[in-house]
Amino acid sequence: MNSLVKANVVAYRRRYAAVIAAITIGVAFLAATLYVGSSVRATLGASVGQAYQKADLVVTPDFWKAEEPPKLTPAQAVEHVKSASGVRATLAYENTMLGAELAGGQESVHVTVTDGDTALLGTGLTEGKAPGVGEATLNSSAAAKAGLTVGSTLTVQVMPEGGKPVTKELTISGLRQDPQDPSSAGYSNLQLSKQGAEALGLTFTPATILVGVEPGTDTAGLVDQLGAFFTEEGLPWAQVGTAEQRVTEQISQLSGGVDALTWVLGAFAGIALVVTVLVVANTFSVILAQRTRELALLRTLGARRGQIRGMVLGEAVIVGIVGGVLGVLIGTGVVAGGAAVVRSAFKLPYVTFGFTWAPVIVGLLVGLLVTVAASLRPALAATKVSPLAALRPSDTVTVRSKAGTTRVVIGLLLLLVGAAALIYGILPNDGGSDAFQTSFGMAFLGGLVSFIGVLVLGTLLIPWAVRQLARPFGAKVSGRLAGLNALRHPQRTSAIGTALLLGVTLVALMLVGATSARSTLNSELAKQYPVDLVISSSAENPLPASLQDAVAAVNGVESTAYLTPAGATPGCPGYGSEQEQANSTCAFAVAGDEAALQAVGTDGAKAPRLGMVAVGEYALQSPDGAVPTEVTLSDGAGRTVTVPIDTEAAAPATRIVMTEETRTKLGLPTTTKTQDEADGYMGPGPQLWLKADDTVATGTLMSEVAKAAGVDQGNLDGALPIRTIASQIIDTLLMVVSALLAVAVIIALIGVSNTLSLSVIERTRENSLLRALGLTKKQLRGMLALEAALIAGAAAVLGVLLGSLYGLAGAKAATSALGGFTPGIPWLWLAVVLVVSVGAAVLASVWPARRAARMSPVEGLAVE
């Protein structure tokens, strides 16, 4: 039987190739995920470990934790450690920061002050010697950057206690390796001796003592002995350990986030593997269905059912091992290569590929398990083949299978319960943080449960969707045949469609969810900040109206509006009596051209109507929390008017905004005074509002605008920075998640292609018959392409619809704390998902279709 298993895998290797490809991708994803975790850990180890790499023991006394100064002085502590038996050398050090001048310009530098044998320092000397008084060593890349060499001088600023800053010159006595600790990255690193530091007026309290021990010393005993000593001396928190122990401790402190990353990536790998199971199971059942006669022949020749089952599982084991090995190799290669690229491209020498056996073992096991689990049902079905089947004509018969009643009931139940929970989750809640967590949790669980329901109902949904899609093509016989063929084996079509549906739904969910979250965030932001950027005037820059053109001309500015003060509430200094100023809030009004205001508002922000004003969220505070419907404004010369508030229009948080027409109508004055002018005027000066067209990076735009207006960047305010940061975060997340989900879609598309090519093999006779009866090659290819497009299209359309619903619901639940909800549908991207799914399926049909078309009718008809 073993030889038969091997022979079968070899003979059917082309049919198994797609199964292996699917398993390979799934396992590669999993192995890569695990290796990312271990590599981040190894990288941390390499960077953290550098400091301790030359020491045997590390002691951290943590003197600062003592509430009152301990009897033991730091110097005594160091002395004690040094004199302990078995200790060869010690190096006590402390890290601090100083201001320094290396090459022009003042900068902050990391300083390591050492006392003892500097050979124990993690960063070894690359040139020169250890520093004495008036000397320092510098890390080599900082020296290269500043153009300093051994013998050059640099200056440091020291701030003695209670004294004035003092500038001291230091000579570079040597250069050291660059520290790889992430916390000192980007800083220059100076190293001083204790005496040198004291000469500069710095105090020295050793934070860490590195210990070198004599060969053959009982290290564990020394650790215990030193630990006991510090506890006795009133420093029970002092940490004593071997260098390896301390590195491991620090990594585990730092790597909590690594585990979370591994889990998140693992979830995506899990999705990819679920799709793999669907694809593999389907392919196995198709391959075995096509081998019915062969299996029956074996039965006729005396094979027992168990032997047939064993043979099929044996084939699955081989396929699983091959896929697993390839997957582990690829996954390992991708992460190892990625680490190498990052290491050299970003000059981060401590980026390390962390090889462990776990991903190899897990990857191989998962590959094997996934394949064997997926082949169990087909293997059982194969044992049901009766010996007689070998003798029957092999004409394939349309299988009319009905979805099991149990399956439908379970699916519907899951769908309904899930949908109910989802709807509960997106209903309005009281806005509390507990309520938010409950409703988001309900929405998430509901979505998950209902989607499982949908997948269970896939055997009904997918064929139904295929039938609907096929309808318009029924007019032509080749179109009708494509539709009928797509539905010929409803189980195959459903299984493969479900796999694609799973991937496409998740991608669409992310797209719609992220877009809706973004548009909700934008419209909520627009309520608080109806303007992208506001340029305020100051005493130094009165912001004359002529500047508007200069700002409007800045690349990336879509439109601008120029606003001038137009009175204020009587609560403002100079606009009401002293009593009014004491009792009511102060808000200044500004006015601008209506068309410009309309154009400059962020999405959803409107200009106030004629005769009305827009009031910012925090401009008016009424003691009872009631929302005011009108506001009284003073012209600053004793006249007041009461104006209704346009609640649909938005204004910056503390401002009142109106159009020029309204100002004229109300008879409010135009002020051109600017803030802080000599007469004590406290109100705003003229303002320039602008809207960004989002083609230029926010930082660049802000500095260009500030330059054009001749103001400091501090005079810019508005929604733009927060809007672009939020958009960037959402876009990045979306891109990463979509890329991760794309793996599942790719596996599903492999499944579509494989199922189609197997069907083509199965229908060789039939296709040849159609050719004999007058179907042209082109029509045959078109028919097969349409069949693939129908299956992929049905799954993709369902997936996009479902994913959009879930995306809207998810975004609604996630943003419920913001108050409002603005749905956003990325039509273009959804269309791209549809086109890619259908296009890839059509492309996948090209090869089998060409093969089918190339075969001459005679050859095909001769095939059994």
Partner 1 sequence: MSIQAPEATALAVAAQNLTKTYGTGPTAVTALDDVSVGFERGKFTAIMGPSGSGKSTLMHCLATLDTPTSGALTLGGSRVDGLDDDALTTLRRDRVGFVFQAFNLVPTLSAEQNIVLPLELAGKKPDAAWMAELVERLGLGSRLKHKPHELSGGQQQRVAVARALLPRPDVVFGDEPTGNLDSSSGAEVLRLLQRSAHEDGQTVIMVTHDPVAAASADRVVLLKDGRLAGEIIAPQVEQVSSALARLGAAS
Give the binding range for partner 1 (CB under 8 A) out of 112-120, 394-402, 703-711, 798-806: 394-402
- Evaluate the CA torsion angle 218, 220, 221, 225 in order and state its sign: positive
Nearer Cβ to partner 1 (470/496) = 470
Is residue 830 within 8 A of residue 511, CB to CB? The reply is yes
Q: Does 858 bind partner 1 (CB under 8 A)?
A: yes
Nearer Cβ to partner 1 (257/393) = 393
Nearer Cβ to partner 1 (220/397) = 397
Q: Minimum distance between the CB of residue 853 and partner 1, rounded to whole angstroms?
A: 9
**Phi and psi, residue 597, nearest 5°:** -65, -45
CA distance 834 to 796: 6
Give the binding range for partner 1 (CB under 8 A) out of 335-343, 393-401, 724-732, 811-819: 393-401
Residue type, 859: E
Nearer Cβ to partner 1 (189/478) = 478
Q: Minimum distance between the CB of residue 390 and partner 1, rounded to whole angstroms?
A: 17
Q: Minimum distance between the CB of residue 476 and partner 1, rounded to whole angstroms?
A: 8
Among 572, 574, 596, which residue's Cα sits nearest to residue 583? 572
CA dihedral 581, 587, 591, 597 (to 10 degrees): -170
Give the binding range for partner 1 (CB under 8 A) out of 36-44, 661-669, 766-774, 830-838: 766-774
Q: Does 156 bind partner 1 (CB under 8 A)?
A: no
Q: Minimum distance between the CB of residue 14 and partner 1, rounded to whole angstroms?
A: 25
Listed in order, strand segments (DSSP E) in 177-225 are 188-193, 208-213
DSSP classification of residue 128 = E
Q: Which two tokens stand for residue 8?
A: 């079968």
Per CB under 8 A, contacts with partner 1 among 326-345 are: none
Burial class (CB in 10 A: 0-12, 13-18, 19+), 178: buried
Is residue 58 within 8 A of residue 227, CB to CB? The reply is no
Q: Minimum distance between the CB of residue 863 and partner 1, rounded to whole angstroms?
A: 11
Nearer Cβ to partner 1 (715/767) = 767
Q: Does 176 bind partner 1 (CB under 8 A)?
A: no
CA distance 318 to 3: 12
Cα-based angle 562, 566, 572 (whole degrees, multiple of 5) = 125
CA distance 864 to 852: 15
Q: Does 775 bind partner 1 (CB under 8 A)?
A: yes
Spell out the residues 6+ positions from residue 343 whose beta carbon is closer than 8 angstroms to its own.
349, 351, 352
Q: Does 398 bind partner 1 (CB under 8 A)?
A: yes
Q: Minimum distance between the CB of residue 788 and partner 1, rounded to whole angstroms?
A: 17
Q: Does 863 bind partner 1 (CB under 8 A)?
A: no
Q: Minimum distance between the CB of residue 844 and partner 1, rounded to whole angstroms?
A: 22
Q: Residues binding partner 1: what is the number (CB under 8 A)?
A: 28
Q: Is 400 left (phi over 0), alpha (psi -120 to 50) or beta?
A: beta
Q: Does 395 bind partner 1 (CB under 8 A)?
A: yes
Q: Minimum distance between the CB of residue 779 and partner 1, rounded to whole angstroms?
A: 8
CA dihedral 373, 375, 380, 384 (to 10 degrees): 170
Give the binding range for partner 1 (CB under 8 A) out of 223-231, 484-492, 560-568, 589-597: 484-492
Please identify which residue in 66, 97, 228, 772 interacts with partner 1, judged by CB under 8 A: 772
Nearer Cβ to partner 1 (41/488) = 488
Element (H, E) at 114: strand 106-116
Among 713, 691, 624, 617, which residue's Cα sits nearest to residue 657? 617
Nearer Cβ to partner 1 (396/632) = 396
- Evaluate the CA torsion angle 794, 797, 799, 801 in order and state its sign: negative
* Helical segments of 651-693, H only: 660-666
CA distance 438 to 425: 8
Q: Does 857 bind partner 1 (CB under 8 A)?
A: yes
Give the binding range for partner 1 (CB under 8 A) out of 129-137, 638-646, 840-848, 850-858: 850-858
CA distance 655 to 845: 63
Is residue 5 within 8 A of residue 314, CB to CB? The reply is yes
In the chain, what is the straight-line distance between the N-terminal and C-terminal CA atoms, in Å? 25
Is residue 543 within 8 A of residue 688, CB to CB? The reply is yes
Is residue 523 within 8 A of residue 822, CB to CB? The reply is yes
CA distance 31 to 26: 9
Q: Does 769 bind partner 1 (CB under 8 A)?
A: yes
Paired with 100 in beta bridges are 107, 156
CA dihedral 655, 658, 659, 662 (to 10 degrees): -150
* Helical segments of 185-255, H only: 194-199, 219-232, 243-254
Nearer Cβ to partner 1 (65/476) = 476
* Helical segments of 615-710, H only: 660-666, 698-709
Nearer Cβ to partner 1 (80/765) = 765
Per CB under 8 A, contacts with partner 1 among 451-480 are: 477-478
Q: Minimum distance between the CB of residue 484 and partner 1, rounded to whole angstroms?
A: 4
Q: Minimum distance between the CB of residue 793 and partner 1, rounded to whole angstroms?
A: 19
Q: Minimum distance between the CB of residue 771 and partner 1, rounded to whole angstroms?
A: 7
Nearer Cβ to partner 1 (351/770) = 770
CA distance 98 to 166: 12
Paired with 112 in beta bridges are 95, 191
Nearer Cβ to partner 1 (697/858) = 858
Q: Does 833 bind partner 1 (CB under 8 A)?
A: no
Q: Minimum distance between the CB of residue 516 and partner 1, rounded to whole angstroms?
A: 43
Please identify which residue in 667, 776, 831, 847 interacts with partner 1, judged by CB under 8 A: 776
Q: Does 777 bind partner 1 (CB under 8 A)?
A: yes
Q: Minimum distance between the CB of residue 395 and partner 1, rounded to whole angstroms?
A: 7
388: helix, strand or coil: helix
Q: Does 852 bind partner 1 (CB under 8 A)?
A: no
CA distance 474 to 481: 8
Q: Minimum distance between the CB of residue 37 and partner 1, rounded to whole angstroms?
A: 51
Q: Does 401 bind partner 1 (CB under 8 A)?
A: no
Among 718, 674, 657, 681, which residue's Cα sits nearest to residue 535? 718
Q: Minimum distance between the CB of residue 515 and partner 1, rounded to whole angstroms?
A: 42
Give the binding range for partner 1 (CB under 8 A) out of 326-334, 391-399, 621-629, 721-729: 391-399
Stated length of the chain: 864
Please identify which residue in 481, 499, 551, 561 interacts with partner 1, judged by CB under 8 A: 481
Show the binding pattern over residues 727-756: x = contacts partner 1 (CB under 8 A), - = does not: ------------------------------
Is residue 222 within 8 A of residue 84, CB to CB? The reply is yes
CA distance 353 to 41: 9
Q: Does 397 bind partner 1 (CB under 8 A)?
A: yes
Q: For the chain, how are helix, strand and coil distributed in percent, rounded to 5? A: 60, 15, 30
Please identify which residue in 488, 518, 527, 812 interacts with partner 1, judged by CB under 8 A: 488
Q: Does 396 bind partner 1 (CB under 8 A)?
A: yes
Give the binding range for partner 1 (CB under 8 A) out of 19-27, 214-222, 658-666, 774-782: 774-782
Nearer Cβ to partner 1 (9/783) = 783
Q: Minimum distance between the CB of residue 354 and partner 1, rounded to whole angstroms?
A: 55
Q: Minimum distance between the CB of residue 783 and partner 1, rounded to whole angstroms?
A: 11
Give the binding range for partner 1 (CB under 8 A) out of 70-78, 130-138, 170-178, 771-779: 771-779
Please identify which residue in 765, 818, 823, 825 interacts with partner 1, judged by CB under 8 A: 765
Residues that bind partner 1 (CB under 8 A): 393, 395-398, 477-478, 481, 484-485, 488, 765-766, 769-779, 856-858, 861
